[in-house]
Each structure stands twice: as structure tokens, then as C-alpha cells.
Amino acid sequence: MSLIKCLRLTARPCNSLLKFKSDILSFTYIKNASLLSHSYCSEAVERFKLFASDGSLNTVPENADYFTVFGIKKSFALDTAKLSKEYKQLQRQLHPDRFTLKPEQEKINSELWSALVNTGYNNLLKPLPRALYLLELLGMPLEEGEISVQSNFLMEMMELNEELLEADAEDIKNLGIDVRDRIDEYIQKIDSAFHNGDIQTARSEVAHMKYLANILDKIIEMENVKD
């Protein structure tokens, strides 16, 4: 099972588009500040079929991507209520009890589908992993150390970590509010960048957001301890 790569950094659209039907995605190529960026549009939404015409469970396609598994438009702006609804429906359809008397291959298929659905749900539910996954789909994954982060931002992150070491309950509460607000601002920037097809900017904003997300994880852990 491989993660789908929707396009490469070339001056022309890739003809293969990884076995997707031509109407699933259309890509507009934009020249911006002497680099190639990508604008994606997925008005047509398609989903992989779980069951064959005879009622048997299909095998997991090699080109399975999370958005198509849930029948959701490929976009950073995502209706999480719809995602959760689709997730619960797939869980019911793939429940192990439904396959106890099925052939061995269908049992294996159900396990593979279930793993894909669970992993996909976890990746799409929250903004940061969703953004990272979208970048991967667009052929521009965020690699460690690839994005240059300004030294003053890094210094600020170090200072926030130091503040957490000495923070009391009230400090943790206030830091949590501030960091959550800043993450919300980054989410808006990332959404705008993806919407405008400015993938390089999206990558940069995601890289910065990762630092704040790591700090927020520490804050949440400390909040739970204080409680």
C-alpha cells in the first residue's frame, strides 16, 4: 500500500497522476516569483468502492488516498463533522463481526481497509497532519530541516519552552491560550495558501506551525497533570 503522489515538480502536468480518473483532480500550474506552484481543484468527489457487485469486499487499491477513501474533496478546508460521519459508517461496514464467516482473503481485506480508514481519519481530522498529508499528495512533502526558519522565531520557541519549565498553573493556562490563538492564525494562513495554490508558502507556514504544535502538546500534558 503506497501513499499517492498527485504531481511532480515539473513544468507540465504528469500524465499518470497515479492511476486516478481524469475527472478527480484538475491542476492549474501557476508561475509565481520564478517558481512553480500548484493550484488544485477537486469539484468532482469520488470514493473507492468497498464492495464488489457480488457483495464481496474489494481489495485495497494501491493508489488509495485518504480523501477518496472517505469520499471527501481534496482540500485543507475540511468538514470534520462529515469526516466523522463517514468514518463511523465505514467502521460499521468493516466491523470484524461481519467477516467471521467470510473467506480468508476477505478477512485480510477487511483488516487492511480498517487500518487505512483509521490511519486516514487520524491524519485528516486535525489541521497539522492534514496539511502535511496534502503536501505529500502534492509531491512537495515537508522534509526535516528543509524549510528555513528565521532565527528570531526559533529563539522565541526556545523562550516559550523555558517559560514552561518554570510555569505554575496560571502561567500554563495563559500560555495555552496564547499558543492556541497563534496556531489558529497559522491555520488561517495555511488555508489561504492552499486555496490560492501557493504551496511554497503553505509549506513554510506548516513548518512554523509544527513548532507551536509541539509546544502545545507539552502544555496539554502539563494541563492534565495540574488537573
pLDDT single digits (tens) 77-114: 999 999 999 999 999 999 999 999 999 999 999 999 99
Give residues with Cβ within 8 angstroms of 97, minimum separation 6.
none
pLDDT at 67: 95
Cell, residue 123:
491524519
Domains and CATH numbers, the chain: 17-137 (1.10.287.110), 151-226 (1.20.1280.20)
CA angle 65, 29, 198 (to 5 degrees): 75
pLDDT single digits (tens) 108-156: 999 999 999 999 999 999 999 999 999 999 999 988 767 778 899 999 9
3-state helix, strand, coil in the chain (%, to 5): 55, 5, 35
* Residue bearing cell 497539522: 128
CA distance 107 to 99: 6
